[in-house]
Amino acid sequence: MEVLIALSIGVLTCCGVWLVLQSRTFQVLIGLALLAYGVNLFIFSMGSLSVGAEPIIRPGVPADLLHYTDPLPQALVLTAIVISFAATALFLVVLLASRGLTDSDHVDGEEERP
């Protein structure tokens, strides 16, 4: 599972970085969204990956990460998801405003001159 998670974070981040470096605003937007997904998975994976474990302490079971999953990164990632989603949505609004004002979807608001 570690390999699978690491690969998905890597692929998401690679695609995100590549798209952010493009010159069209919509590609930048999708790139930022993909980067946010990669980062969210990364935070999630910091709390030790485990299958079928739960974060609630049961009597008689020692309270360590071998028997439980860490609840804190799950709480953190929830906050991070909300914030990155909201910020990306705001970027979309500004993108549309820029498209409307400049008649161009280039990040500079005008086409490059050859």
Sites of contact with other proteins (CB under 8 A): 20, 25, 28, 32, 35-36, 39, 42-43, 46-47, 72-73, 76, 79-80, 83-84, 86-88, 90-91, 94-98, 100-102, 107-109
CB of 14 or CB of 96, closer to other proteins: 96
Structure tokens at 67: 């028997």
Q: In 3-state terms, what secondary structure has residue 66?
A: coil
Instruction: Measure Cα distances from 14 to 84, 87, 105 in Å.
Output: 18, 21, 23
Residue owning tokens 């790139």: 31
CB of 24 to other proteins, least distance (A): 12
CB of 32 to other proteins, least distance (A): 5
State whether the Cα torsion 83-88-92-94 is positive or negative. Answer: positive
CB of 84 to other proteins, least distance (A): 7
